[in-house]
């Protein structure tokens, strides 16, 4: 490197740090600080009326995974907790898959509209964000309950004789989550498809690819960054979802977010709540790592 280049590189590095300093300070105080507190709390002893006693204990972490029988003192796997983990994970993954299946054709359709119409449809997609999530979730509940719009319509159309019990079932939860998180899938997909060169489709057909092969060999690999971004944007908040499972699950379908809240409330077990929060964080981080890995894999090729 010539001295001039060297100076320029150093200058731009210094400017970079200066420019990002405000963000770094806020992130440190607002994210890492509380996180450390949570980490410390997870190793303390629960207080009698909530809060913690400053006494080291492994119990918070132990009870994440194992249960101690009070009478016999034997340890067994915490089935209830694992069920909640599993439910959170499976429902979140299912939600992600469903939002993709619904969101991809939607995003494609919008991206192939003339520019003016596109803005309109994107506006409609983001419209639910303008309403409080609580209101939206109650609205879903109104639609799917036994006397709700959905069941009335189906009965009227003669598809079913008696209403389907949807409220407080995993299906209800799934419907609600797909509804709430759909825009987060559609927007990054739209951005990726918008950049997709439609002329490649003709090149694909010209080279003997069927419609399905064009989708699998050309469209999906090229819009992959959008798929990954959308999936992460849906999966991460799903894992920590709180309001939707609370209302649509009616307390029966507890997910991680609700379970954590329970520990800080009625459960009065802050260390367990703190440990669970960190488990959630680890799951989310793992998901993000997969994302970064997939993206850098993309980079390595070109």
Partner 1 sequence: MADVTIEARNTIKAFGQGAQAVRALDDVSIQINRGEFFTLLGPSGCGKTTLLRLIAGFEMPTSGQILLDGADITDLPPNRRPVNTVFQSYALFPHLTVAENVGFGLTMQGRPKAEVAATVAHMLALVKLEAMANRKTSQLSGGQQQRVALARALAPKPKVLLLDEPLSALDLKLRKEMQVELKRLQTETGITFVFVTHDQEEALTMSDRIGVMSAGKLQQVGSPKDIYTRPVNRFVAGFIGETNFLPATGGAGGAKLGCGAVIDGVAANGAVTLTIRPEQVRLTAAAEPGAIPATVTLLVYFGTDTHLHLALPDGASIVARVQSPATGEAGLAQGQQVGLRFAPGAVQVLED
Minimum CB separation from partner 1 for residue 211, in Å? 9
Q: Which residues contact 26 (CB under 8 A, 6 or more apart)?
A: none
Lookup: tokens for 225:
């960054």
Whose Cβ is closer to partner 1: residue 209's or residue 290's?
Answer: 209
Which sign does the torsion angle of CA 213, 201, 218, 126 carry?
A: negative
Minimum CB distance to partner 1 smaller for 152 or for 210: 210
What SS3 state is found at 159? coil
Computed on alpha carbons and rounded to an integer, the radius of gyration of the chain in Å comes to 24
- Cα-flanking dihedrals φ and ψ of residue 43, to 5°? -105, 15
Q: Quick one: 114 or 302, whose CB is closer to partner 1?
A: 302
Per DSSP, the residues of 234-296 read HHHHHHT--HHHHHHSTTTS--HHHHHHHHHTTT--HHHHHHHHHHHHHHHHHHHHHHHHHHH
Q: Quick one: 133 or 191, whose CB is closer to partner 1? A: 191
121-128: which pairs have CB atoms within 8 A and are 24 or more residues apart?
122/187, 122/190, 125/182, 125/183, 125/186, 125/187, 126/183, 126/187, 128/179, 128/180, 128/183
Binding site for partner 1 (CB under 8 A): 197, 199-200, 202-210, 213, 217-218, 221-222, 301-302
Task: Confirm if 41 and 270 have CB atoms less than 8 A apart.
Answer: yes
Among candidate residues 87, 39, 41, the one with its CA nearest the CA of residue 279:
39
Residue 208's contacts (CB-CB under 8 Å, 6 or more residues apart) are none
Min dist. Cβ of residue 208 to partner 1 (A): 4
Burial of residue 163 (CB within 10 Å: 0-12, 13-18, 19+) is middle
Q: In whole angstroms, how close is the CB of 224 to partner 1 at the nearest point?
A: 8
Residue with Cβ nearer partner 1 (116 or 301): 301
CB of 219 vs partner 1, minimal distance in Å:
10
- Closest approach of Cβ 291 to partner 1, in Å? 18
CA 300 to chain centre: 27
Residue (101 or 203) nearer to partner 1, CB: 203
Minimum CB–partner distance for residue 202 and partner 1 (Å): 6
Cβ at position 203, least distance to partner 1 in Å: 4
Judge whether 190 and 122 are in contact, CB under 8 Å: yes
Q: Using the minimum distance from each CB to partner 1, give the nearer residue, 62 or 217.
A: 217
**Closer Cβ to partner 1, 56 or 212, answer by number:** 212
In the complex, the smallest distance separating the C-beta of residue 116 from partner 1, rounded to whole angstroms, is: 20
């Amino acid at each position: 490197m010539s001295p001039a280049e060297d100076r320029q590189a150093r200058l731009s590095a210094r400017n970079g740090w200066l420019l990002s300093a405000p963000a770094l300070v806020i992130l440190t105080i607002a994210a890492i600080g509380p996180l450390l507190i949570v980490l410390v709390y997870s190793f303390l002893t629960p207080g009698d009326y909530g809060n913690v006693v400053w006494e080291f204990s492994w119990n918070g972490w132990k009870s994440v995974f194992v249960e101690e029988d009070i009478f016999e003192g034997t340890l067994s796997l915490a089935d209830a907790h694992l069920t909640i983990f599993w439910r959170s994970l499976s429902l979140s993954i299912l939600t992600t898959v469903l939002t993709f299946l619904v969101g991809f054709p939607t995003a494609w359709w919008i991206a192939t509209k003339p520019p003016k119409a596109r803005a309109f449809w994107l506006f409609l997609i983001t419209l639910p964000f303008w309403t409080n999530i609580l209101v939206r979730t109650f609205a879903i509940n109104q639609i799917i309950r036994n006397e709700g719009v959905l069941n009335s319509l189906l009965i009227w159309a003669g598809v079913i004789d008696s209403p389907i019990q949807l409220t407080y079932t995993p299906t209800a939860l799934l419907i609600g989550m797909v509804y709430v998180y759909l825009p987060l899938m559609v927007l990054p997909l739209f951005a990726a498809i918008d950049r997709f060169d439609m002329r490649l489709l003709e090149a694909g057909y010209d080279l003997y690819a069927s419609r399905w092969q064009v989708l699998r060999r050309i469209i999906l690999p090229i819009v992959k960054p959008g798929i990954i971004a959308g999936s992460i944007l849906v999966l991460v908040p799903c894992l920590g979802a709180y309001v939707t499972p609370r209302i649509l699950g009616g307390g029966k379908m507890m997910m991680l977010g609700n379970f954590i809240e329970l520990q800080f409330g009625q459960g009065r077990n802050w260390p367990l709540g703190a440990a669970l929060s960190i488990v959630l964080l680890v799951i989310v981080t793992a998901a993000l790592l997969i994302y970064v890995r997939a993206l850098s894999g993309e980079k390595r090729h070109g």
